Chain A
Amino acid sequence: MSEAADVIVVGGGIHGCSTALHLALRGAKPLLLEKDYCGRHASGVNAGGVRQLARHVAEVPLSVASMELWARIEDLVGDDCGFESHGQVLVAEDDAEFAACRARVDDLRLRGFTHEELIDRAELKRLVPAVSDYCPGGIVSRRDGAADPFRTTQAFRRRAIESGARLREGVRVLNIARRAGIWHVATTDGEFEAPVLVNAAGAWAARLAAMAGEHVPLEAIAPMLMITARVPHFLDPVIILRGRKLSFKQFGNGTVLIGGGHLGTAYPDENATVLDWAKLTASARTVDELFPVMRGATIVRAWAGIEARTPDDIPVIGHSRTEEGLFHQFGFSAHGFQLGPGVGSLMADLIVTGATNLPIEPFGVGRFLRGIEPPGTDSVLE
């Protein structure tokens, strides 16, 4: 079987679904291939944090652009995605951390960004009454918030289909080869063809890149999360810490999500992860110290998702260096959910018009390429 499309997008996470949607909205005919089901991996099981706060400066313009889409997400995908914008607050736990917060906010101002605001102890207490008294202040990004990740990914998927994208789930890409300007994509369900290919394969993206001769040092990591039984409402914004690793938020139903980047072990070949409880105890201790109201809470579930991480913790976005018609969109290093809407839009611009007005130079795959090998040396993806 050989089906033609304008663009084949590999990977049905938030990024692949968003790119497929934006391509369809621009009149292209994308075909999305997903080996499991859309949102099965990082995009469906993440913390749902929609955060501009505390991002790498290179990511800030993309994050701000993405935020514009989040602000009207229902218009875009026909579902509010559970997005609530009660702000995100970075809490400084001592004076040195607070000084670093001040420096960060000043630096962003010089670069022309004003979404991060320094807050003192009083404003911190007003925004987060339950926080321990020892914290001197922090930073707030008021338009930030959180959404329901699986629902969001599914909403992008659905709207992409409604807008004309085709979608095949349960279909794994096994090999890619470009002949006479056309990508031939061999899958577990036959071959597909298109002049353009987008690699949005998440933690598996390095394998796809390798088939095009590009060897990207990508690590499959397993960030862990845990959630409590319901506790009385005490928190609106999402909390992150500056020093210790913690992200923390309470849902409308009272349950509290505790994350922050402690890693378990990922087994990407088996779609499996193993938790590291010794590390989760560290998160539990931090919560215990920072939020005395949480003392009586119980943990009902913990899990990890399989995510792609680059050596410099910022993604790979843009053209392949080895092959025409191949675009990369992966390596979001545990903070790519918020970027999904915006990066999908910029990818569609890049593919359809050949350009984007967002600064994507820092994300070029060239920064990692040591030796470029001819394509076809790696064949089968497992």
Chain B
Amino acid sequence: MTAMPLPKDHYDVVIIGAGPAGLAAAAVAGKAGLSTLVLDENAQPGGQIFRAITSTPVQRRDILGDDYWRGENLVAETRAGGAVIVQGATVWSLDRDLQIAVSLLGQSQIVKARRVIIATGALERPFPIPGWTLPGVMTVGAGQTLLKSSGLVPDGKVVLAGTGPLLWLYAAQVLRAGGAIDAILDTTPRGNYWRALPYALPFLMSPYRAKGLALMREVKRKVRVVSNVTSLAALGGDKLDAVAFSAGGAEQKIAADTLLLHQGVVPNVNLANAAGVAHRWDERQLCWVPVLDADGNTSVPGIAIAGDGAGIGGALAAAERGRIAAVAAVEALAPGKKSLTPDRSELSNTLRRAELGRAFLDVLFQPAQQFRLPEGDTIVCRCEEVSAARIKETIALGTEGPNQLKAFLRCGMGPCQGRLCGLTVTEMIAQARGMSPDAVGYYRLRPPVKPIALKELASMPHSEQDEKAVVRG
């Protein structure tokens, strides 16, 4: 047996992801006396929003803003509760037996849990435009990661394109950090403002409104903003040199060294999907969300999901959902310790307040169809370089779902496991066949959800009994 980096191989609660949801859940579970392990693949706790909260070189507090620094308290509270937070720990498999395979310091091992809370958050929605695979094109999320963890802002001619709150937040952060942005190409469809109107009232009462408007004003003072952009293409030979777009019917072109794309975030469903958790299509957020009860429990007994992985709700809602899932875990595993947990109905109330205004944002920032359903040579699957045209042809041959398409074209079979093409493929099939995305379904994802070195797998702790195989393929 090889020595294992984790002190124990079984825990009451294992929480995957140390963003707001995971940290808040761990604080509650730990405080109630459950043995609680948080596994997170980043070097520091905090997840996306509080990325590098304990280590960021960006020390001027106004640059990243108050909402960012709030993460400090959450980390401290979790540690005080007694949960073990392990960073640099990549979970690459979870199954219905609540066995978790995790890679840590180049060594993999299996940990067993009595309850699992998945808090793996969101990832950026694919933005498949012509040229999006060119060097020089990246996502706003990746840009923000560089800013938070290394204090870097993009240089040269910088263009941001897309829609959604993060686009504006990042733009403001870049400007505050002394960076420059040549243009923001806003792809929010004009019609969305009308469609979002029925949801406006709760939004007007929510904290998002004031913050959002202030951010946009701050950015618009310094940057050229083109609204109602209806087409986009990244141009260049072996790297980006310009962005072509149309707005108000006119075609335009601007020189660019860096193009940062963003059209919202969607739940990161890979681990849950591979564990067999049932998902459904969310018509408002246009993505897959897990089917959950009020406590965050999934279709797989013992597995709950909290945070943006449960449906996009933002950091405040994420933390509340994390606490709710942890209270449910305490109720299930140590009912006697219930008194040590926060009041459940109060958590629900706070959650409701945190979710105020979300519907308005969902509808307002719904990305336009042409940016979700690419055409022609535009690459859909980056790993296997499969174009929209090839996918369309294959669908026309009678391919009924993403899994059959995958088997024919290998799209979704690469190392990204469909993170960059899955939604596009589902929506393309739905459109071509005139069906709902829900009826079309999604890839059946397979572990490892993150690639693992053969060498590391070979050196996993094992027993002789495991060697006895039976048949040959």
Contacts and interface: CB of A to CB of B under 8 A. Distances in A.
> Do they bind each other?
yes
Nearest to A240: B472
Contacts of B452: 298-299
Interface residues of B, number: 39
B457 A150 contact: no
Nearest to B449: A301
A126 interface: no
Interface string B401-434: 1001001101001110100000000000000000
Interface of A: 37, 39, 44, 46-47, 49, 54, 150-151, 154, 221, 223, 225, 228-229, 240, 244-245, 247, 253, 259-263, 272, 274-282, 284-285, 287-288, 294-303, 309, 313, 333-335
A287 B460 contact: no
Interface string B436-473: 00000000001110011111011110110011011111
Contacts of B401: 37
Given A278-B463, A298-B453, A301-B448, 8 more contacts: A150-B404, A221-B470, A229-B451, A259-B473, A261-B473, A284-B455, A294-B454, A299-B452
Contact of B473 (A47, A253, A284, A294): A47
Interface string B263-296: 0000000000000100000000000000000000
B101 interface: yes
B95 interface: yes
B93 A275 contact: yes
A41 to B, nearest CB: 12
Contacts, number: 134
A295 B455 contact: yes
18 contacts: A47-B473, A221-B471, A245-B470, A245-B472, A247-B472, A259-B473, A260-B469, A261-B473, A274-B97, A275-B93, A275-B447, A277-B460, A281-B458, A281-B466, A282-B469, A288-B454, A300-B448, A333-B471
Nearest to B275: A274
B355 interface: no
Nearest to A337: B473
Given A300-B414, A302-B446, A274 B471 contact: no
A277 B472 contact: no
Contacts of B232: none
A303 B446 contact: yes
B118 interface: no
A26 B397 CA distance: 27
A369 B105 CA distance: 54
B79 interface: no
Centre residue among A46, A274, A281 by max chain B CB count within 10 A: A281
Contacts of A240: 472
Given A277-B110, A303-B446, A287 B473 contact: no
A309 B469 CA distance: 14
B471 A263 contact: yes
B408 to A, nearest CB: 7
B413 A301 contact: yes
Nearest to A286: B458
Contacts of A37: 400-401, 404
B353 interface: no
Contacts of A272: 96, 276
B472 A335 contact: yes
Nearest to B97: A274
Nearest to A247: B473
